[in-house]
Structure 1
Amino acid sequence: MSAEAMVRDYYEALRRGEPLAPYFAERPDVVKFGVGERLDGYDEIAEGLREQSRVTDDWTVESHDLRVTERDDWGWFSDEVRMSWTQRGTDYDFETRWSGTLERRSDEWLFVGMHVSAPVETGGDD
């Protein structure tokens, strides 16, 4: 599977509510920044993603500008993603920016870093 196919597969797993931890390298130095949290190390990421799946549903994940580069055993990606979900009866909807680093292990790609953020509305002239 290519790095791009893996990123797209991750998006699909998120939509379906499937386990997401297997997409991350089982390393203590892997990191995932979400819209509202920072998770360090595989164990913390796995627990955070399990909890996310437990309390959320109705995910929409719409990729608008996925760019993926592969180099030997390393890769990186960026994307603009509209994502929405329901959590405990409250609907959330964000235009987000994603970026990350991937590592190839045998024939599979795994995230070693992921950053998801939402632009801040400043309300003024930039």
Structure 2
Amino acid sequence: MVFSFDVLLSRLQEAKVLKKMRIEDISKKSNVPVGTISKIFAGITTDPKIGTLIAIADALDANIDYLIYGKREINTDTTFSKKECTIIKKYRQLTAEQQGAIENSIDYYIKTNKKDETTENGEDPFVNKVG
């Protein structure tokens, strides 16, 4: 597959619009200078460094494979944000019992759509109720 800067630029602009972000927002979130991002979005810089592209993709919650190759769409269920990846990595470090407790808590909050820490009968949803 051949890399096309025009396709990359189009996908970056699409992601920027979908996220309703300005160049300044992307710069702040990615720690990439405004001038660098402006030159990329203006098509002045046509060979940006991969680290810069990754930082911009992370800021836009866009999949770098999608931006470069079009392999995935932006924000699909198979594309995780940086924060989601961090949570998954932490989850994998837990014991099976701890993972069960986390799963119970998630199920509870989805079911009740509440943000408090107890059920109506005063039970703690963080207590593992699995086996």
The bucket for the TM-score relative to the shorter chain is under 0.3
For the pair shown, the structure with the greater C-alpha radius of gyration is 2
TM-score by length of structure 2 reads: 0.26
**Greater share of strand:** 1
**Greater share of helix:** 2
Which structure is higher in RCO with an 8 Å CA cutoff and minimum separation 6?
Answer: 1
